[in-house]
């Protein structure tokens, strides 16, 4: 049997306890990639027992030992980067150029950050006779999504291993191929048996079993807000730590002093990157009302020039499909809702792009005259759909930006950096990007409100996997 039909528990590939399987589909072609075994509560229990046993010794390893292990993982990861890119492209539809340029490198970046933080972190300080000690929290259950699979797995696994924790990973069943390949990398790098375990499965089986398990000390979850609420509810009776990175509906405030063509091109690219399947995508573009028509004339040809299935996988003009038929149908329903509520369709719309007959490709869609109360302005679409919301004053733009149940990210463009900083300070979001600034893997990633709690990336993400102990009377 292939590794798609096994789980990695206690350092070995082992057969599942049940017989349920799932068909894996390539989103670009809607053809079958194979089948995947789905785990159950018994599989999870075996993995937890292995992780609990391994924690007794792994938690006592030195900083030097864990640094050496992470460096070995990084080296093995770099050796397999092309295979990883191919896997990501096949399983969730990212164009090969995007998998090579961003999806795979983001995973490596998190391993490097974990190494940097680990080498410089003070696990114990003493002040006025009291020692403050940071210790690994224990066994961590991780539930990760399909949209940036290696990024989301390694921004959890790398700092957890660095902190001295042991792990049970349930990746998205739609992104199992890259997780299986990564598991082989971890094994070949010398991760001790039981320190990392992989159980594939669905949320209502494996995910719930992880959340409920009394021998798991922490759940790290990335996914939809609805699923995050369910995980937190299931985890509550055991009072385990729950860190969540959930949905987003990020506003992009364009102030009146910008170079409009340049800023709009950047904004469209950021919104449509990864086919709009990013929780922090700038999907609400807040534009001064007097510039909306000019913005439409700039954006429409840019959207029409985007190539999809007709482009080669390596072509950077290529926009990939969305991940599944279910996701395609949901996006179509929200596009229809935008039309029904009276938003002006600028480009794209319902159906697949012209000439596309296979795969889950969505037409790059732009709406104008969007009111902030419309469904397309409030619900996370998770597809290549941009909403232009005109505003009459900066304070109105800030009000619109904050009028959302989400608070993951925000974007501000202005030639006046002081003004941009002032606007950024008023956004109720965990992150703000000024003038197109890209991600910073050393900075905290996470949100306010229903976008989650806790933080990932860099030192902030590392600390999520640590408990704090105070020892009074320790002495100087």
pLDDT of residue 318: 78
| Cα→Cα distances 361→273, 366, 367, Å | 14, 15, 18
pLDDT of residue 314: 62
pLDDT of residue 355: 87
> What are the pLDDT digits (tens) for 172-214?
999 999 999 999 999 999 999 999 999 999 999 999 999 999 9
> What are the pLDDT digits (tens) for 256-301?
999 999 999 999 999 999 999 999 999 999 999 999 999 999 999 9
* Catalytic residue flag (residue 279): yes
| Cα→Cα distances 224→34, 195, 232, 333, 464, Å | 26, 27, 12, 18, 20
| β pairing state of 139-143 and 431-434 | unpaired
* Residue-averaged pLDDT of the chain: 96
pLDDT of residue 311: 55
Contact between residue 196 and residue 158 where contact means Cβ atoms under 8 Å apart: no
> What are the pLDDT digits (tens) for 206-215?
999 999 999 9
Give bridge partners of residue 198 from the DSSP assignment. 8, 169
Q: Cα 314 from chain centroid? A: 23
What does the H/E/C string look like for the chain? CCHHHCEEECCEEECCCCCCEEEEEECCCCEEEEEEECCCHHHHHHHHHHHHHHHHHHCCCCHHHHHHHHHHHHHHHHHCHHHHHHHHHHHHCCCHHHHHHHHHHHHHHHHHHHHHHHHHCCCEEEECCEEEEEEECCEEEEECCCCCHHHHHHHHHHHHHHHCCEEEEECCHHHHHHHHHHHHHHHHCCCCCCCEEECCCCHHHHHHHHHHCCCCCEEEEECCHHHHHHHHHHHHHHCCEEEEECCCCCEEEECCCCCHHHHHHHHHHHHHHHHHCCCCCCCEEEEEHHHHHHHHHHHHHHHHCCECCCCCCCCCCECCCCCCHHHHHHHHHHHHHHHHCCCEEEECCCCCCCCCCCCCCCCCEEEECCCCCCHHHHCCCCCCEEEEEEECCHHHHHHHHHCCCEECEEEEECCCHHHHHHHHHCCCCCEEEECCCCCCCCCCECCEECCEECCECHHHHHHCCEEEEEECCCCC
Q: Which domains does the chain have, with CATH numbers?
A: 3-246+451-471 (3.40.605.10), 251-440 (3.40.309.10)
Q: Which of 155, 165, 279, 387 is catalytic?
A: 279
Tell me which residues of the chain have a pLDDT lower than 50: 1
pLDDT of residue 2: 83
Nearest to 296 by CA among 256, 342, 260, 271: 260
pLDDT of residue 310: 56
Q: Which of 245, 380, 459, 464 is catalytic?
A: 245
pLDDT of residue 465: 98
Q: Which residues contact 289 (CB under 8 A, 6 or more apart)?
A: 390, 391, 392
């Amino acid at each position: 049997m292939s590794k798609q039909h096994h789980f990695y528990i206690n350092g070995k590939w082992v057969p599942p306890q049940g017989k349920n399987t799932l068909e894996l589909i390539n989103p670009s072609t809607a053809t079958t990639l194979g089948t995947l075994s789905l785990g159950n509560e018994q599989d999870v229990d075996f993995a937890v027992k292995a992780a609990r046993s391994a924690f007794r010794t792994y938690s006592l390893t030195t900083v030097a030992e864990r640094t050496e292990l992470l460096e070995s993982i990084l080296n093995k990861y770099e050796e397999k980067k092309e295979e990883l890119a191919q896997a990501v492209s096949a399983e969730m539809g990212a164009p090969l150029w995007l998998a090579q340029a961003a999806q795979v490198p983001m995973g490596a970046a998190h391993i490097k950050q974990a190494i940097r933080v680990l080498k410089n972190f003070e696990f114990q300080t003493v002040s006025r006779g009291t020692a403050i000690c940071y210790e690994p929290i224990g066994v961590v259950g991780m539930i990760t999504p399909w949209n940036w699979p290696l990024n989301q797995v390694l921004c959890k696994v790398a700092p957890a291993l660095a902190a001295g924790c042991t792990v049970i990973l349930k990746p998205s069943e739609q992104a199992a191929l890259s997780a299986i390949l990564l598991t082989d990398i971890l094994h070949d790098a010398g991760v001790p048996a039981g320190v990392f375990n992989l159980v594939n499965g669905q949320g209502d089986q494996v995910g719930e079993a992880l959340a409920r398990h009394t021998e798991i000390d922490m759940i790290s979850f990335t996914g939809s807000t609805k699923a995050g609420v369910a995980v937190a509810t299931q985890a509550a009776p055991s009072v385990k730590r729950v860190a969540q990175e959930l949905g987003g509906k990020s506003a992009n405030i364009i102030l009146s002093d910008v170079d409009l063509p340049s800023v709009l091109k950047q904004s469209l690219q950021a919104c449509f990157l990864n086919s709009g399947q990013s929780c922090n995508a700038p999907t609400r573009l807040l534009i001064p009302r007097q510039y909306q028509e000019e913005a439409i004339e700039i954006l429409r040809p840019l959207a029409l020039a985007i190539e999809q299935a007709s482009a080669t996988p390596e072509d950077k003009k290529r926009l990939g499909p969305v991940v599944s038929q279910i996701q395609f149908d949901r996006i179509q329903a929200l596009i229809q809702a935008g039309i029904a509520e009276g938003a002006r369709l600028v480009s794209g719309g319902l159906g697949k792009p012209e000439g596309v007959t296979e795969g889950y490709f969505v037409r790059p869609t732009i709406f104008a005259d969007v009111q902030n109360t419309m469904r397309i302005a409030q619900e996370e679409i998770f597809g290549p759909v941009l909403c232009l919301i005109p505003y009459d004053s900066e304070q109105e733009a800030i009000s619109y930006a904050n009028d959302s149940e989400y608070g993951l990210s925000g974007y501000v463009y202005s030639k006046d950096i002081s003004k941009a900083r002032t606007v950024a300070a008023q956004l109720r979001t965990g992150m703000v990007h000024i003038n197109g600034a890209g991600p910073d893997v050393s900075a905290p990633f996470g949100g306010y409100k229903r976008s989650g709690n806790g933080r990932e990336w860099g030192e902030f993400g590392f600390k999520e996997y640590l408990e704090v102990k105070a020892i009074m009377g320790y002495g100087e």
